[in-house]
Amino acid sequence: MKQNNLFFVWRPFFLLILFLPTLLLLSLKTEAQQESVSPVLEMPEVVAEVNGDKIMRTNLATECLRLHGTEELKDFVKKFLIQQECSRLNITVTKQEINNEVERMAKAFKFSTQDWLELLEKERGMTAEMYMEDIIQPILAIGKLAGSRMNITEEEIQHEMNARYGAAVQVRQIVLGSRKDAEKVWLDLNANPDSFPSVAKNRSLDPASQPYGGLIHPIRKGSVNSEIEKIVFALKPGEISAIVEWPAGQFLIFRCEQHLQPQHVDKEKVREQLVTKIRDMKTRSAAEEVFRELQTRAQIEIVFGNSTRMAQAPGVAAIVNGQNISQKYLAEICLKRYGKSVLSDMISKLIVEQACRKQNIVITDTDIDREIREMAIKYLPLRQDGSPNIELWIKMKTEENQMTPEVYRTNTVWPVLALKRLSRPFVQVTEEDIQRGFESNFGKKVRCLAIVFDQKDQRRAQEVWEMANRNKTPENFANLAEKYSMDPESRIARGVIPPISRYSGQPTLENEAFGLLPNELSQLIQVEENWVILYCLGYEEPSITNINDVKTDLVADIFEKKQNIAVAKFYENLFNQAAIDNYLTQESRNPEIEKAIRETEKIKQATGTTSQQTQ
């Protein structure tokens, strides 16, 4: 379960999912030269002020280095080795080649070049210059170094065509964590194949397919692991597969629902998209191969992050082929890339620190250790000796957010824990909360199929409703959902949605669902920005009838949810009341001044009205 870490978690900056995770293509200078060059990014010495407290440029650079130095150093070294090899082989990437590739990429995503570059800057914070230097130029350089490895054959194009548009098998899956569990479930399923959907809901460890009875995207040839592909294509509708271990430690069982015919698509009309996808995959693969080859010939020592070597070589981040890369220079690289986003998080954290100082709240290392322990107990199975698996929890959270344990403690756990302390007086669990929670979690539920439409498609929704009304059967409704639903999950699942309970946060949908009889069709329901049609399959009776049996757990669950809401509101209030000057984004806000201006405007308006009336 991914924890919401509010405003302080470093969010990994994925430039483009298909591209290389690279940073700056810079020529490596000697350490002396590095210290004498102009800063990578011109910034004032004071980069922000929050309620009178200053954030200095040096502090921001240090924080950028702490958060991103390790990964950016790896990318810098890769870039340097690639550039050296290009120089050795007299390989160059021209400006025209870069422009052509930008144009090709824009066209592949169906944008004009200008719109594509504007989108990147708006959505990714990447200027056209950064995009060309950080993404396009390295891709083209690697392509030239890779040589024939970048050639694309007709066989590869056909393989990608099959993976996208070829024959497919619609299956359900159950994911289990041990072979012993898998073997027991497999025996039960073979004794009762029709129980597969309910077993998937109750036993499968895959959160994406579990609510839909194990239903997943159709599997096409070349789109998944070859062993899985071979097994599912050999199944007949209704058949259950043998147990498949993939990846290691994860055991899968499949049931074939139906075989789907290939889509009739003209290969020439989609050739450019196919080639783009193949080229991107080959670029990633070639980059890894080229770098491995260069690495075997290079002398590389990463100093940054190694406490022993950092003490022996102060200020040095890495040594590449005898050349020093200084921490100061690395910090400037990180500052250029991440300065604005890191400063935003520093401002957020400083606001909370100020509130804690004002209320004399101190978060100790012991408090942080306790919070981490509680998270491990809550979200992970206990060890065999009954102790919490704290090490695994820290490993999961640090790998998930690409951060060190130290950063996890200071930038994730500390702010959340501080806000919990600050907002705790505003969190109360009432008897009404407990009753609603009981009905929501353990009360009666409605099992429905659903078709979802965009708000703009009311006419289409009405047409589909009429088609469903003419033939009120689950099979017809499922066919319509598969064809017309705009929601990808309900479309893939042929209309299947999780059972609807009371107090789920969508009262209009709830009231309509609970008013239906089995096999009855709902009216068109407007839910936020969508139209929804429901088909009632029946009701699930309450699993627990005595509230006292679960009251303790309910109170804890409700408290946590209300606390999360209180934390968000408390921070929002802190932020709205703070005087902030961000000198990097040129954004400033001062609630007191803004209030005074509004009051002045009111006085001016009143005075003006009175003057006119006197005249």
What are the phi and psi torsion angles at 363 (to 5°)? Answer: -100, 115
Question: Which secondary structure element, helix H or strand E, spans residue 316, and what is its range?
Answer: strand 316-320
Q: Does 310 fall in a domain?
A: no
* Residue 156 near residue 278 (C-beta atoms within 8 A): yes
Query: Which band of pLDDT confidence, cut at 50, 70 and 90, is reported for residue 257?
Result: very high
Residue 609: band (very low, low, confident or very high) from pLDDT cuts 50, 70, 90: low
Cβ distance 452 to 530 under 8 Å?
Answer: yes
Q: For residue 352, count CB atoms less than 10 angstroms from its CB and return exposed for 0-12, middle for 13-18, buried for 19 or more.
A: buried
Query: Which residue from 529, 518, 411, 413 is spatially nearest to 472, judged by alpha carbons?
Result: 518
Helix (H/G/I), strand (E/B), else coil: 352: helix
Residue 321: C-alpha distances to residues 291, 294, 296, 301, 601 (Å): 15, 12, 12, 9, 66
| pLDDT the model gives residue 471 | 93
In a domain, 500, yes or no: yes
* φ and ψ at residue 304, rounded to 5 degrees: -60, 130
Q: What's the rounded Cα separation, in Å, for the pair 529 and 454?
A: 7
Q: Averaged over 506-516, what is the pLDDT?
A: 93
In a domain, 60, yes or no: no
Q: Please indicate, yes or no, whether residues 463 and 526 belong to a single structural domain of this protein.
A: yes
* Residues 405, 332: Cα–Cα separation, whole Å: 23
Question: What are the phi and psi torsion angles at 234 (to 5°)?
Answer: -85, -10
Structural domain ending residue among the three candidates 378, 399, 426: 426
Q: Are residues 519 and 572 in the same domain?
A: no
* Phi, psi angle pair for 301, to nearest 5°: -130, 120
Pairing of strands 530-540, 587-589: unpaired
Domain-embedded: residue 61: no
CA distance 165 to 230: 17
C-alpha 89/C-alpha 92 separation (Å) is: 9
Q: Is the peptide bond before 247 cis (omega within 30 degrees of 0)?
A: yes
Q: Clarify whether residues 505 and 590 are in a common domain.
A: no
- How much is the pLDDT for 127? 81
pTM over 0.75: no
How many structural domains comprise the chain? Answer: 4
* φ, ψ for residue 264, nearest 5 deg: -85, 95
Q: Does residue 18 surpass a pLDDT of 60?
A: no
Give the tokens for residue 80.
């340097």
**Among 426, 453, 472, which residue terminates a domain?**
426
CA distances from 97 to 136, 139, 498 (A): 9, 11, 51
Ranges assigned E (strand) in 455-565: 525-527, 530-540
Instruction: Examine residue 384 and state whether it is found in any structural domain, yes or no.
Output: yes
Q: Is residue 546 part of a domain?
A: no
Do 528 and 448 belong to one domain? Answer: yes
- Whether pLDDT at 400 is above 60: yes
**3-class state of residue 367 by DSSP:** helix
Nearest Cα to Cα of residue 219 among 230, 209, 206, 211: 230
Q: What is the CATH number of the domain that holds 495?
A: 3.10.50.40
Looking at every residue in the chain, the average pLDDT score rounds to 86
**Do 459 and 526 share a domain, yes or no?**
yes
In angstroms, rounded to a whole number, what is the distance separating the alpha carbons of residues 241 and 186? Answer: 9
42, 50 Cβ separation under 8 angstroms? no
Are 163 and 221 in contact, with CB atoms under 8 Å apart? yes
Of 105-114, 169-178, 294-303, 560-569, the range with the lowest mean pLDDT is: 105-114
What are the tens digits of pLDDT across the range 315-372? 999 999 888 999 999 999 899 889 999 999 999 999 999 999 999 999 999 999 999 9
Domain assignment present for 369: yes
On whether residue 10 sits in a domain, the answer given is: no
Q: Is the model more confident about 16 or about 202?
A: 202
Q: Say how far apart CA 611 and CA 49 lie, in whole Å.
A: 42
**Residue 576 pLDDT greater than 50, yes or no:** yes
pLDDT exceeds cutoff 90 at 607: no
Q: Do 536 and 453 fall into the same domain?
A: yes
Q: Please, are residues 352 and 418 in contact by the beta-carbon 8 Å criterion?
A: yes
Q: In this structure, are 381 and 409 located in the same domain?
A: yes
Q: Is the pLDDT of residue 406 over 60?
A: yes
Range of the domain at 368: 359-426
